[in-house]
Structure 1
Amino acid sequence: MLVDDEAGFREFVAARLGRLSRIAFLLTGDHHAAEDLVQVTLVKVARHWRRVTRAGAPDAYVRRALYHEHVSSWRARRRLEMTTADPPDRAGGRDESAEAVRRIVLRDALARLAPGQRAVIVLRYFEDLSEADTADALGCSVGSVKSQTHHALARLRAIAPELAELIEDAEVSA
Protein backbone atom coordinates (compact mmCIF):
# COMPACT_ATOMS: atom_id res chain seq x y z
CA MET A 1 0.00 0.00 0.00
CA LEU A 2 1.48 3.31 -1.08
CA VAL A 3 0.14 6.27 0.84
CA ASP A 4 1.69 9.67 0.16
CA ASP A 5 0.45 11.19 3.41
CA GLU A 6 0.60 8.15 5.66
CA ALA A 7 0.23 10.15 8.87
CA GLY A 8 -2.82 11.98 7.52
CA PHE A 9 -4.38 8.72 6.37
CA ARG A 10 -3.74 7.10 9.77
CA GLU A 11 -5.33 10.07 11.55
CA PHE A 12 -8.36 9.92 9.25
CA VAL A 13 -8.82 6.19 9.87
CA ALA A 14 -8.31 6.50 13.63
CA ALA A 15 -10.90 9.27 13.86
CA ARG A 16 -13.52 7.55 11.71
CA LEU A 17 -13.02 3.80 12.09
CA GLY A 18 -15.87 3.39 14.59
CA ARG A 19 -18.36 5.20 12.38
CA LEU A 20 -17.22 3.38 9.24
CA SER A 21 -17.52 0.06 11.08
CA ARG A 22 -21.08 0.87 12.16
CA ILE A 23 -22.05 1.82 8.61
CA ALA A 24 -20.47 -1.36 7.27
CA PHE A 25 -22.29 -3.46 9.87
CA LEU A 26 -25.59 -1.89 8.96
CA LEU A 27 -24.90 -2.55 5.28
CA THR A 28 -23.77 -6.16 5.73
CA GLY A 29 -25.64 -7.33 8.84
CA ASP A 30 -22.57 -9.26 9.97
CA HIS A 31 -19.61 -8.17 12.12
CA HIS A 32 -17.00 -10.16 10.21
CA ALA A 33 -18.29 -9.08 6.81
CA ALA A 34 -18.35 -5.47 8.06
CA GLU A 35 -14.72 -5.69 9.19
CA ASP A 36 -13.74 -7.12 5.80
CA LEU A 37 -15.72 -4.43 3.99
CA VAL A 38 -14.03 -1.61 5.93
CA GLN A 39 -10.58 -3.14 5.45
CA VAL A 40 -10.95 -3.65 1.69
CA THR A 41 -12.41 -0.16 1.26
CA LEU A 42 -9.63 1.53 3.25
CA VAL A 43 -6.94 -0.35 1.31
CA LYS A 44 -8.44 0.90 -1.94
CA VAL A 45 -8.82 4.45 -0.62
CA ALA A 46 -5.23 4.45 0.67
CA ARG A 47 -3.94 3.96 -2.87
CA HIS A 48 -5.57 7.24 -3.92
CA TRP A 49 -5.28 9.16 -0.66
CA ARG A 50 -3.55 12.22 -2.14
CA ARG A 51 -6.26 12.60 -4.78
CA VAL A 52 -8.98 12.03 -2.15
CA THR A 53 -7.66 14.76 0.12
CA ARG A 54 -7.11 17.16 -2.77
CA ALA A 55 -10.76 16.79 -3.73
CA GLY A 56 -11.58 18.10 -0.26
CA ALA A 57 -14.28 15.66 0.90
CA PRO A 58 -12.58 12.51 2.19
CA ASP A 59 -15.59 11.52 4.35
CA ALA A 60 -17.97 11.54 1.41
CA TYR A 61 -15.44 9.76 -0.80
CA VAL A 62 -14.83 6.98 1.74
CA ARG A 63 -18.56 6.59 2.47
CA ARG A 64 -19.25 6.26 -1.26
CA ALA A 65 -16.35 3.83 -1.71
CA LEU A 66 -17.68 1.76 1.20
CA TYR A 67 -21.13 1.56 -0.35
CA HIS A 68 -19.79 0.72 -3.80
CA GLU A 69 -17.49 -1.96 -2.42
CA HIS A 70 -20.44 -3.49 -0.57
CA VAL A 71 -22.56 -3.59 -3.71
CA SER A 72 -19.66 -4.95 -5.78
CA SER A 73 -18.97 -7.75 -3.33
CA TRP A 74 -22.67 -8.53 -3.06
CA ARG A 75 -23.02 -8.74 -6.81
CA ALA A 76 -19.86 -10.81 -7.17
CA ARG A 77 -20.97 -13.42 -4.67
CA ARG A 78 -24.65 -13.45 -5.56
CA ARG A 79 -25.44 -14.95 -2.21
CA LEU A 80 -27.96 -14.18 0.48
CA GLU A 81 -26.74 -12.44 3.58
CA MET A 82 -26.82 -14.56 6.67
CA THR A 83 -27.69 -12.92 9.95
CA THR A 84 -26.61 -14.09 13.36
CA ALA A 85 -28.51 -14.31 16.60
CA ASP A 86 -26.01 -12.03 18.38
CA PRO A 87 -27.01 -8.38 18.72
CA PRO A 88 -24.30 -5.74 18.33
CA ASP A 89 -22.32 -5.19 21.51
CA ARG A 90 -23.00 -2.08 23.52
CA ALA A 91 -21.11 -0.77 26.52
CA GLY A 92 -22.80 0.32 29.69
CA GLY A 93 -23.61 -2.82 31.66
CA ARG A 94 -27.32 -2.01 31.97
CA ASP A 95 -30.14 -4.38 31.07
CA GLU A 96 -30.82 -3.69 27.43
CA SER A 97 -33.01 -6.66 26.59
CA ALA A 98 -35.76 -4.57 24.95
CA GLU A 99 -33.18 -2.60 22.96
CA ALA A 100 -31.38 -5.83 22.02
CA VAL A 101 -34.60 -7.34 20.70
CA ARG A 102 -35.32 -4.17 18.75
CA ARG A 103 -31.80 -4.19 17.26
CA ILE A 104 -32.20 -7.84 16.24
CA VAL A 105 -35.57 -7.16 14.64
CA LEU A 106 -34.16 -4.09 12.88
CA ARG A 107 -31.07 -5.95 11.66
CA ASP A 108 -33.17 -8.83 10.36
CA ALA A 109 -35.60 -6.42 8.68
CA LEU A 110 -32.71 -4.50 7.05
CA ALA A 111 -31.28 -7.79 5.81
CA ARG A 112 -34.53 -8.46 3.96
CA LEU A 113 -34.36 -5.19 2.01
CA ALA A 114 -32.78 -4.93 -1.41
CA PRO A 115 -29.18 -3.65 -1.19
CA GLY A 116 -30.10 -0.23 -2.65
CA GLN A 117 -33.01 0.22 -0.26
CA ARG A 118 -30.85 -0.87 2.65
CA ALA A 119 -28.14 1.62 1.69
CA VAL A 120 -30.66 4.47 1.44
CA ILE A 121 -32.08 3.68 4.90
CA VAL A 122 -28.60 3.42 6.44
CA LEU A 123 -27.37 6.65 4.90
CA ARG A 124 -30.55 8.66 5.50
CA TYR A 125 -31.47 7.56 9.01
CA PHE A 126 -28.34 6.09 10.62
CA GLU A 127 -25.82 8.43 9.01
CA ASP A 128 -28.35 11.30 9.02
CA LEU A 129 -27.46 12.42 5.49
CA SER A 130 -29.74 14.68 3.50
CA GLU A 131 -31.45 13.38 0.39
CA ALA A 132 -28.93 15.25 -1.77
CA ASP A 133 -25.93 13.88 0.15
CA THR A 134 -27.38 10.37 0.00
CA ALA A 135 -27.92 10.71 -3.75
CA ASP A 136 -24.33 11.90 -4.12
CA ALA A 137 -22.99 9.01 -2.03
CA LEU A 138 -24.94 6.47 -4.05
CA GLY A 139 -24.39 8.10 -7.41
CA CYS A 140 -28.08 8.46 -8.20
CA SER A 141 -30.71 11.20 -8.37
CA VAL A 142 -32.54 12.74 -5.42
CA GLY A 143 -35.75 11.36 -6.90
CA SER A 144 -34.30 7.84 -6.74
CA VAL A 145 -33.40 8.38 -3.09
CA LYS A 146 -36.93 9.55 -2.33
CA SER A 147 -38.45 6.61 -4.19
CA GLN A 148 -36.11 4.04 -2.63
CA THR A 149 -36.76 5.51 0.82
CA HIS A 150 -40.52 5.34 0.33
CA HIS A 151 -40.38 1.74 -0.90
CA ALA A 152 -37.91 0.68 1.82
CA LEU A 153 -40.03 2.15 4.63
CA ALA A 154 -43.15 0.48 3.18
CA ARG A 155 -41.29 -2.83 3.03
CA LEU A 156 -40.03 -2.43 6.61
CA ARG A 157 -43.56 -1.65 7.74
CA ALA A 158 -44.79 -4.87 6.10
CA ILE A 159 -42.04 -7.22 7.28
CA ALA A 160 -41.49 -5.77 10.76
CA PRO A 161 -44.69 -4.22 12.14
CA GLU A 162 -43.04 -4.18 15.58
CA LEU A 163 -40.82 -1.37 14.26
CA ALA A 164 -43.81 0.87 13.44
CA GLU A 165 -42.83 3.52 16.00
CA LEU A 166 -39.27 3.68 14.68
CA ILE A 167 -40.50 3.90 11.07
CA GLU A 168 -42.99 6.66 11.95
CA ASP A 169 -40.17 8.62 13.63
CA ALA A 170 -38.07 8.21 10.48
CA GLU A 171 -40.88 9.45 8.25
CA VAL A 172 -41.49 12.47 10.46
CA SER A 173 -37.81 13.42 10.41
CA ALA A 174 -37.61 13.04 6.60
Structure 2
Amino acid sequence: MQTTGWEDEFREYVRARGPALLRAAHQLTGHPLDAEDLLQNALTKTYLAWDRIEDRRALDGYVRRAMVNINISQWRRRKLEEYPSDELPEMCTSSSDESHGEVHEELERALGELPERMRAAIVLRYYEDMTEPEIARTLGISVGTVKSTVSRAMGKLRSALTRHPS
Protein backbone atom coordinates (compact mmCIF):
# COMPACT_ATOMS: atom_id res chain seq x y z
CA MET A 1 0.00 0.00 0.00
CA GLN A 2 1.40 3.33 -1.05
CA THR A 3 1.00 6.31 1.28
CA THR A 4 0.83 9.99 0.60
CA GLY A 5 3.31 12.48 2.05
CA TRP A 6 0.87 13.78 4.65
CA GLU A 7 0.14 10.23 5.87
CA ASP A 8 3.86 9.71 6.41
CA GLU A 9 4.02 13.07 8.16
CA PHE A 10 1.13 12.04 10.44
CA ARG A 11 2.78 8.70 11.25
CA GLU A 12 6.04 10.45 12.10
CA TYR A 13 4.20 12.92 14.32
CA VAL A 14 2.48 10.07 16.21
CA ARG A 15 5.80 8.22 16.58
CA ALA A 16 7.56 11.31 17.91
CA ARG A 17 4.83 12.78 20.13
CA GLY A 18 2.79 9.70 21.04
CA PRO A 19 4.43 8.98 24.42
CA ALA A 20 4.04 12.57 25.65
CA LEU A 21 0.44 12.71 24.44
CA LEU A 22 -0.30 9.39 26.13
CA ARG A 23 1.01 10.79 29.43
CA ALA A 24 -1.34 13.78 29.06
CA ALA A 25 -4.23 11.42 28.28
CA HIS A 26 -3.39 9.36 31.37
CA GLN A 27 -3.46 12.51 33.49
CA LEU A 28 -6.93 13.27 32.15
CA THR A 29 -8.41 9.81 32.56
CA GLY A 30 -6.49 8.39 35.50
CA HIS A 31 -6.44 4.94 33.89
CA PRO A 32 -3.92 3.57 31.35
CA LEU A 33 -6.45 1.78 29.13
CA ASP A 34 -8.84 4.73 29.12
CA ALA A 35 -5.88 6.97 28.25
CA GLU A 36 -5.02 4.80 25.24
CA ASP A 37 -8.63 4.95 24.04
CA LEU A 38 -8.79 8.69 24.59
CA LEU A 39 -5.55 9.30 22.69
CA GLN A 40 -6.66 7.01 19.85
CA ASN A 41 -9.94 8.94 19.51
CA ALA A 42 -8.10 12.28 19.54
CA LEU A 43 -5.57 11.07 16.97
CA THR A 44 -8.42 9.88 14.75
CA LYS A 45 -9.93 13.37 14.86
CA THR A 46 -6.50 14.85 14.15
CA TYR A 47 -5.96 12.50 11.21
CA LEU A 48 -9.29 13.49 9.71
CA ALA A 49 -8.44 17.19 10.11
CA TRP A 50 -4.77 16.89 9.13
CA ASP A 51 -5.07 18.74 5.84
CA ARG A 52 -6.87 21.65 7.57
CA ILE A 53 -4.19 22.14 10.25
CA GLU A 54 -1.91 24.71 8.66
CA ASP A 55 0.40 25.40 11.61
CA ARG A 56 2.14 22.11 12.36
CA ARG A 57 3.59 23.65 15.54
CA ALA A 58 0.05 23.71 16.92
CA LEU A 59 -0.49 19.95 16.55
CA ASP A 60 0.09 19.12 20.23
CA GLY A 61 -2.42 21.76 21.23
CA TYR A 62 -4.93 20.43 18.70
CA VAL A 63 -4.58 16.86 19.99
CA ARG A 64 -4.72 17.94 23.64
CA ARG A 65 -7.82 20.04 23.01
CA ALA A 66 -9.41 17.06 21.24
CA MET A 67 -8.57 14.82 24.24
CA VAL A 68 -10.04 17.30 26.70
CA ASN A 69 -13.20 17.74 24.62
CA ILE A 70 -13.67 13.99 24.16
CA ASN A 71 -13.05 13.36 27.86
CA ILE A 72 -15.52 16.08 28.85
CA SER A 73 -18.15 14.59 26.55
CA GLN A 74 -17.61 11.18 28.14
CA TRP A 75 -17.83 12.33 31.74
CA ARG A 76 -20.85 14.51 31.06
CA ARG A 77 -22.69 11.38 29.97
CA ARG A 78 -21.89 9.48 33.16
CA LYS A 79 -23.95 9.62 36.31
CA LEU A 80 -22.56 11.16 39.46
CA GLU A 81 -20.82 8.32 41.28
CA GLU A 82 -19.47 10.25 44.27
CA TYR A 83 -21.52 11.77 47.01
CA PRO A 84 -20.52 14.34 49.61
CA SER A 85 -19.76 13.16 53.12
CA ASP A 86 -20.04 14.86 56.49
CA GLU A 87 -16.96 13.04 57.77
CA LEU A 88 -13.50 14.41 57.10
CA PRO A 89 -10.65 11.94 56.60
CA GLU A 90 -8.07 11.57 59.32
CA MET A 91 -4.97 13.66 58.66
CA CYS A 92 -1.56 12.00 58.76
CA THR A 93 1.86 13.37 57.91
CA SER A 94 3.88 11.77 55.18
CA SER A 95 7.46 10.71 55.74
CA SER A 96 10.07 13.23 54.66
CA ASP A 97 12.35 10.66 52.99
CA GLU A 98 10.03 9.73 50.12
CA SER A 99 11.79 9.54 46.79
CA HIS A 100 10.60 11.58 43.86
CA GLY A 101 9.25 8.44 42.17
CA GLU A 102 7.17 7.45 45.19
CA VAL A 103 5.71 10.94 45.44
CA HIS A 104 4.86 10.87 41.73
CA GLU A 105 3.15 7.48 42.11
CA GLU A 106 1.15 8.73 45.10
CA LEU A 107 0.12 11.82 43.17
CA GLU A 108 -0.94 9.69 40.18
CA ARG A 109 -3.03 7.51 42.47
CA ALA A 110 -4.59 10.52 44.19
CA LEU A 111 -5.40 12.12 40.82
CA GLY A 112 -7.07 8.89 39.78
CA GLU A 113 -9.38 9.10 42.79
CA LEU A 114 -10.66 12.56 41.86
CA PRO A 115 -13.96 12.96 40.03
CA GLU A 116 -13.41 13.55 36.32
CA ARG A 117 -14.20 17.29 36.28
CA MET A 118 -11.82 17.92 39.18
CA ARG A 119 -9.09 15.84 37.55
CA ALA A 120 -9.56 17.69 34.25
CA ALA A 121 -9.38 21.08 35.99
CA ILE A 122 -6.19 20.12 37.87
CA VAL A 123 -4.53 18.71 34.76
CA LEU A 124 -5.39 21.77 32.70
CA ARG A 125 -4.29 24.17 35.45
CA TYR A 126 -1.09 22.57 36.66
CA TYR A 127 0.02 20.22 33.88
CA GLU A 128 -1.07 22.26 30.86
CA ASP A 129 -0.54 25.63 32.64
CA MET A 130 -3.83 27.05 31.42
CA THR A 131 -5.36 30.14 33.02
CA GLU A 132 -8.70 29.99 34.81
CA PRO A 133 -10.55 31.70 31.91
CA GLU A 134 -8.97 29.23 29.45
CA ILE A 135 -10.05 26.30 31.62
CA ALA A 136 -13.55 27.75 31.92
CA ARG A 137 -13.84 27.98 28.12
CA THR A 138 -12.42 24.49 27.63
CA LEU A 139 -14.69 22.84 30.20
CA GLY A 140 -17.72 24.97 29.38
CA ILE A 141 -18.10 26.27 32.95
CA SER A 142 -17.76 29.66 34.65
CA VAL A 143 -14.47 31.01 36.00
CA GLY A 144 -15.96 30.86 39.51
CA THR A 145 -16.72 27.17 39.04
CA VAL A 146 -13.14 26.62 37.86
CA LYS A 147 -11.81 28.32 40.99
CA SER A 148 -13.99 26.33 43.36
CA THR A 149 -13.38 23.06 41.49
CA VAL A 150 -9.60 23.51 41.56
CA SER A 151 -9.72 24.51 45.22
CA ARG A 152 -11.80 21.46 46.21
CA ALA A 153 -9.62 19.20 44.07
CA MET A 154 -6.45 20.49 45.72
CA GLY A 155 -8.01 19.85 49.12
CA LYS A 156 -8.85 16.29 48.11
CA LEU A 157 -5.33 15.76 46.77
CA ARG A 158 -3.75 17.11 49.98
CA SER A 159 -6.02 14.90 52.03
CA ALA A 160 -5.31 11.83 49.93
CA LEU A 161 -1.56 12.39 50.03
CA THR A 162 -1.48 12.80 53.81
CA ARG A 163 -3.93 9.94 54.39
CA HIS A 164 -1.91 7.41 52.35
CA PRO A 165 1.78 8.03 53.08
CA SER A 166 4.22 5.80 51.21
TM range, smaller chain: 0.5 to 0.7
Q: 1:129 to 1:162 in 2, by over 3 A?
A: farther
When normalised by structure 1's length, the TM-score is: 0.65
The percent identity for this pair of structures is 41
Question: Counterpart of 1:124?
Answer: 125
Does the residue aligned with 1:128 lie in a helix, a strand or coil? Answer: coil
Question: Counterpart of 1:142?
Answer: 143
Whether the 8 Å CA contact 1:120–1:149 is kept in 2: the answer is: yes
Structure-to-structure mapping, 1:8-87, within 5 angstroms? 8-53=9-54, 57-74=58-75
Whether the 8 Å CA contact 1:37–1:69 is kept in 2: the answer is: yes
* 2:104 counterpart letter in structure 1: R
Does the residue aligned with 1:129 lie in a helix, a strand or coil? Answer: coil
RMSD: 3.2
Unmatched runs of 5 consecutive residues or more in structure 1: 81-96, 164-174
Q: 1:46 to 1:108 in 2, by over 3 A?
A: same
* 2:26 counterpart letter in structure 1: F
Question: Counterpart of 2:104?
Answer: 103
The 2-side partners of 1:61 and 1:42 are apart by 10
The 2-side partners of 1:158 and 1:11 are apart by 42
Does the residue aligned with 2:129 lie in a helix, a strand or coil? Answer: coil
- Give the paired residue count: 145
Whether the 8 Å CA contact 2:125–2:132 is kept in 1: the answer is: yes
* 1:100 counterpart letter in structure 2: G
Whether the 8 Å CA contact 2:132–2:146 is kept in 1: the answer is: yes
Q: RCO higher in 1 or 2 (8 Å CA, sep ≥ 6)?
A: 2
Whether the 8 Å CA contact 1:109–1:160 is kept in 2: the answer is: yes
Q: 1:11 to 1:138 in 2, by over 3 A?
A: farther
When normalised by structure 2's length, the TM-score is: 0.67
The 2-side partners of 1:148 and 1:61 are apart by 24
Shift, 1:105, TM fit:
1.8
Please identify the structure whose Cα radius of gyration is greater: 2
Unmatched runs of 5 consecutive residues or more in structure 2: 82-97
